[in-house]
Amino acid sequence: KAGVTQTPRYLIKTRGQQVTLSCSPISGHRSVSWYQQTPGQGLQFLFEYFSETQRNKGNFPGRFSGRQFSNSRSEMNVSTLELGDSALYLCASSLEGAGMEQFFGPGTRLTVL
Amino acid sequence: QQQVKQSPQSLIVQKGGISIINCAYENTAFDYFPWYQQFPGKGPALLIAIRPDVSEKKEGRFTISFNKSAKQFSLHIMDSQPGDSATYFCAADTGNQFYFGTGTSLTVIP
């Protein structure tokens, strides 16, 4: 079974721009969660989508948004990028969501200049 | 506020030794406690997980010890190997959201 894939793997953007990251979950998994990983804060939960609906949301500003498509693929968008948004963005998929094993993708490394 | 507190931040162990990483929490709603291992350039991978109805779970060289009354759980890596050198994250789940510790960088010296 193919694992979780994320594209692109690396991105360089400048302040004020916006960016869209993509995540393809493991086949059959309906839950996709997004995390921001930084050296100082560790993994911070952004949001979870399940069957095309945002089910849970972390404590991030509204510049961070996401969506999930009917095939469970998910995208995350960050608008008006700030230097502090530089991080590794990870997505994780699971069959039903929290409380079950999550499988992480390799992440997208975003650098904001 | 960090929901799950992890220590130490870094750990150096000789090959064959025991690596111990500790985590503590306050929220009694947590009911699933996984540990993840992350190598550079990779996403975290589930290593072992425990639910609060058991006090210990062992899988190969990896053991989770869980103390419900103290709200603490720990990862023990027996016979540590250089290939175990990675960053380890504990996590706790309410059923709605995972909360991660800040990670422990483990280096196993040959």
* pLDDT band, residue B90 (cuts 50/70/90): very high
The pLDDT, as a whole number, for residue A99 is: 66
> How many beta carbons lie within 10 A of that of residue B68, not counting itself?
12
pLDDT the model gives residue A101: 85
Tokens of B35: 């540990």
For B47-67, what is each residue's pLDDT tens digit?
999 998 999 999 999 999 999
Residue B30's identity, in one-letter code, is: F
Percent of chain B with pLDDT over 70: 99
Closest by Cα among A75, A90, A85, A93 to A113: A85
Which residues does B40 contact at the CB level (< 8 Å), separation at least 6? none
Residues in chain B closer than 8 A to A105 (CB atoms):
43
- Put simply, the chain A residues between 7 and 66 with a CB less than 8 A from any chain B CB are 33, 35, 41-45, 48, 55-56, 58
User: Do B61 and B78 contact (CB within 8 A), yes or no?
Assistant: yes
**Beta carbons within 8 Å of A95's beta carbon, 6+ residues apart:** A28, A29, A30, A31
Phi first, then psi: what are they for A83, rounded to 5°?
Answer: -55, -35
**According to the model, what pLDDT value does residue B58 have?**
97
- The C-alpha atoms of residue A69 and residue B14 are separated, in whole angstroms, by 48
Size of interface A-B (CB pairs under 8 A): 53
Count of residues in chain B: 110
pLDDT at site A1: 66
Residue B49 touches chain A, beta carbons under 8 Å: yes
pLDDT range class, residue B94, cuts 50, 70, 90: confident
- Average pLDDT for residues B24-45, to the nearest whole number? 93
Q: What is the pLDDT of residue A6?
A: 97
Per-residue confidence (pLDDT) for residue A41, from 0 to 100: 81
Q: How far apart are CA A100 and CA B36, in angstroms?
A: 13
* CA nearest neighbour of B43 among A69, A14, A88: A88
Residues of chain A with pLDDT under 70: 1, 97-99
Give the pLDDT confidence score for residue A98 in this predicted structure. 63
For residue B71, the 8-state DSSP code is: T
